[in-house]
Structure 1
Amino acid sequence: MKAVHFGAGNIGRGFIGKVLHDNGFEITFADVNKEIIDALNAEKGYTVHIAEENGASYDITGVSGINTVDNPGQLEQAVLEADIITTAVGVNILPIIAKSITPHLAKRLEDPRPLNIIACENAVMATDALKEAITNETGKLTASNIGFPNSAVDRIVPIQKNERILDVKVEPFYEWVIEETEWAGTDKLEGPNYVQDLMPYIERKLFTVNTGHAAIAYYGRTLGYDTVYEAMTDSKVQIFLNEVLAETQDYITAVYDFTAEEQEHYIDKIIKRFTNPHLSDDLNRVGRGVMRKLGPNDRIIKPLVYLHNEGENHEALSKLVMYATKFDNTEDPEQVEMNSLISEKGIEGFLTEHSGLESDLTKEVINTM
């Protein structure tokens, strides 16, 4: 069995690549990073290290690389032979990946073997975005042997520097949930969880892991901390994080079928991940992309608006909005843009226009600080 994975970075090698390897796939990584691709072709493998005390190490073999700019012919052959195509490139890059896949897809669809194409991105229904970009290039896709299942992925891969360029350190925990209804064929991957309805798992992760990370980053920076682990040693951060996740729990258990006990167990597991000293991440990196994170359907604003409309407590999320607007990372282009908009329109104008908050909620949020 053969896989093509777009994105040879740490997530691609340490998470998706490892799962594919464990399922017996030969993996071709497609990327524009010449150094990484050359190393993959020279080494033919790498090691995944588990970030915990006395953590295990796993050798990943049977891998190769293709420079998508320099070797389009090799990429065509890899796509034609593939049983699965995955990505971990960032949702904004998916239209570019679509242009790389599309020229070779028509021939591959003549092959009756099932082909699943999955965008493993930190975004809601990312495969739909990839499929739309592909169909914009090709027109409507009607082949019954091709699947475009959406997925939800979760694994922390910290900033790291290893002796061997291809080796990667990842946390012990991972979750890869795949939309079963869109999966082509009967042979499924071992490790991922296949579900009929993906949205509960997407939002549970988004409003627990991602909202929690945002709470640590934005509040932790106001207290002068630089890393997740440093911030999590402060009881004030711990209390605030628990308050935020208690509010998002109210959203998750109201909207979906997760019980309070299930969500509490999930929260406990997530907090243990945040306190792993082997995973500590830079708060500026965790908090970057602040405009996106204050978007109306993202990790802070969506549960806040729901709880406000339902008359439920949302004080911690309101405070989190304000901590986010005061985040100070001028190396983040979105931070620079937000600062400019706040300077021009004020915080109230920014939250009304960008985050879509109604006037009464905007004033309430501002008054929390």
Structure 2
Amino acid sequence: MSQKRVIIWGAGRIGRGFAADLFFSAGYRIIFIDVSRDLIEQLKRAGEFTIVRAESADRRDDLIVRDYDALAVAEVEAVSEAVADTDLIVLAVFPRDFGAVVEQMVAGLRQRHIQRPEAPLDIILCTNLAHAAVEFRARLSEVLPPDLRDYAEQRIGVVESLVMRMVADPPAAEREREPLLVWTNGNAEFPVDRHAFRGQPPRVSGLRLVEDMRAEEMRKLYTYNTCHAALAYLGALRGHDLIVDCLADPIVRSQVEGVLEEASWALQAEYGFDAKEMGAWVAKVIRQTDNPTLGDRVSRHGADPVRKLRRSDRLIGPVLMARKHGIPTPKLTRATAAAFLFQNPCDPGAAEVQQKVHQCGIESAVRELCELADSEADLVAAIVEAYHRLKASNMLEVQS
């Protein structure tokens, strides 16, 4: 039986550090495709690279990935042949690049349509965007010529996934020794939308077929992302630089555990997640975040509070979900208020929040940045009250 092939389109940290790990370990022949000719040349010259799976300070497992091919998108003929021949594509690029990627795929899709018109092609999207498949399908419809659109609809599966693995900057000495090395926490969990495949889902360790992708997206956003934001904003008030130091601070940890408990109740009420399963999930969120080898910083997880304060994002989103089900959220409300106190002169988003508070006052800033309606005035008032208490209480001394 011939070796299965997978194109990993996007040879950055997620492409190399997550997708390559799963598919190389499953016996696939990997073809990297990337817009960066320099990166592709690096991969060709090296012939191999290391993925570090550092689950904790004392648990590290290294995987060496080799025997791959690497193509720059400018190598049009070779890219077209690869698309025509592959069994699967994993797309690890930013959503803003979807249109460009589709344009780069067109010649290969046409060749595939001629040579293998009945063969399905599934494209798994590894990107942090809700409803990514809708966005990618829209780009397909815009870019593909009319004679390929029916083929794409019938034979091309666009599969949403969630990347649970954390990828961090490697220590300087490791990076100097091997520039292509990727440092991760080793999380192999890979939820994918079971209903989107046109062919058979790949048999890959960690891949989990999901019935309700929307529920899984919200669970990740309202636990992992909510936890990281709450740690950053509350930890910053305590003067911490590293996320692990925030978790080592009993005051911050207690607050964030309360944040996750409230978010968990909301998710259970909204989507029917089992309480025992959610308890194990939340424990895993804490365990995987409390990893000193990742070197995660408050500045990174707190970055761009303008985006993180939006109505459907990681702070106000779970508050509103809980509110819908009559669940009180004092800890989530406090974490949201802390975001309005986040100071980082190097972060334009943080500066924008502070400018908004200074110019308009905290009440108007909360209403505008959190996109809250007049009917939610009580929530605005609760956030404003928490803001004033945090500001006056010398770094979270008030916990009630």
Matched, 1:62 2:70: no
Match 1:145 to one of 126, 142, 155: 155
Q: Find the counterpart in structure 2 of residue 253 from structure 1.
A: 268
Query: Which moved further from structure 2: 206-215 or 273-282?
Result: 273-282
Maintained 8 Å contact 2:51/2:62: yes
Cα distance between partner residues in 1 of 2:100 and 2:367: 33
Percent identity reads 27
User: Which secondary structure does the structure 2 equivalent of 1:281 belong to?
Assistant: coil
User: Which secondary structure does the structure 2 equivalent of 1:320 belong to?
Assistant: helix
Matched, 1:42 2:60: no
User: Which secondary structure does the structure 2 equivalent of 1:255 belong to?
Assistant: helix
Specify whether residues 91 and 227 from structure 1 end up closer, same or farther in structure 2 by C-alpha distance, changes over 3 A only: farther
Q: Find the counterpart in structure 2 of residue 183 from structure 1.
A: 197
Q: Find the counterpart in structure 1 of residue 215 from structure 2.
A: 200
Q: Find the counterpart in structure 1 of residue 95 from structure 2.
A: 91
User: Which secondary structure does the structure 1 equivalent of 2:167 belong to?
Assistant: coil
Specify whether residues 40 and 360 from structure 1 end up closer, same or farther in structure 2 by C-alpha distance, changes over 3 A only: same
Q: CA deviation at 1:260?
A: 1.3
Q: Deviations over 1:278-304 (max 9, x none)?
A: 223122112223222222211111111
Maintained 8 Å contact 1:7/1:31: yes
Runs of 4+ in 1 over 6 A off after TM superposition: none
One-letter code of the match for 1:45?
Answer: E
Q: Find the counterpart in structure 2 of residue 157 from structure 1.
A: 167
Maintained 8 Å contact 1:154/1:174: yes
Q: Find the counterpart in structure 2 of residue 119 from structure 1.
A: 125
Q: Find the counterpart in structure 2 of residue 265 from structure 1.
A: 280
Q: Deviations over 1:77-103 (max 9, x none)?
A: 322222222222233333332332244
Uncovered stretches (5+) of structure 1, i.e. residues with no partner: none
Match 2:20 to one of 14, 17, 20: 17
Maintained 8 Å contact 2:310/2:316: yes
Specify whether residues 64 and 332 from structure 1 end up closer, same or farther in structure 2 by C-alpha distance, changes over 3 A only: farther
Uncovered stretches (5+) of structure 2, i.e. residues with no partner: 388-400
Maintained 8 Å contact 1:120/1:152: yes
Maintained 8 Å contact 1:5/1:86: yes
Maintained 8 Å contact 2:334/2:386: yes
Cα distance between partner residues in 2 of 1:283 and 1:171: 18
* Structure 2 length-normalised TM: 0.85
One-letter code of the match for 1:356?
Answer: E
Q: Deviations over 1:131-180 (max 9, x none)?
A: 21221212683333211111122111122242211121211323211111
Maintained 8 Å contact 2:123/2:159: yes
Match 1:330 to one of 316, 323, 345: 345
Cα distance between partner residues in 2 of 1:182 and 1:73: 29
Aligned length: 368
Q: CA deviation at 1:343?
A: 4.2
One-letter code of the match for 1:193?
Answer: R
Maintained 8 Å contact 1:36/1:165: no
Q: Which of the two has higher C-alpha Rg?
A: 2
User: Which secondary structure does the structure 2 equivalent of 1:136 belong to?
Assistant: helix
Specify whether residues 257 and 115 from structure 1 end up closer, same or farther in structure 2 by C-alpha distance, changes over 3 A only: same
Q: Deviations over 1:51-97 (max 9, x none)?
A: 132422112122232233x4333332322222222222233333332
Q: Find the counterpart in structure 2 of residue 105 from structure 1.
A: 109
Cα distance between partner residues in 2 of 1:256 and 1:157: 29
Q: Find the counterpart in structure 2 of residue 219 from structure 1.
A: 234
Maintained 8 Å contact 1:304/1:314: yes
Specify whether residues 97 and 294 from structure 1 end up closer, same or farther in structure 2 by C-alpha distance, changes over 3 A only: farther
Specify whether residues 330 and 132 from structure 1 end up closer, same or farther in structure 2 by C-alpha distance, changes over 3 A only: farther
Cα distance between partner residues in 1 of 2:135 and 2:359: 33
Q: CA RMSD of the aligned region, Å?
A: 2.1
Cα distance between partner residues in 1 of 2:274 and 2:106: 43
Specify whether residues 12 and 238 from structure 1 end up closer, same or farther in structure 2 by C-alpha distance, changes over 3 A only: same
Q: CA deviation at 1:115?
A: 0.8
Cα distance between partner residues in 2 of 1:327 and 1:355: 15
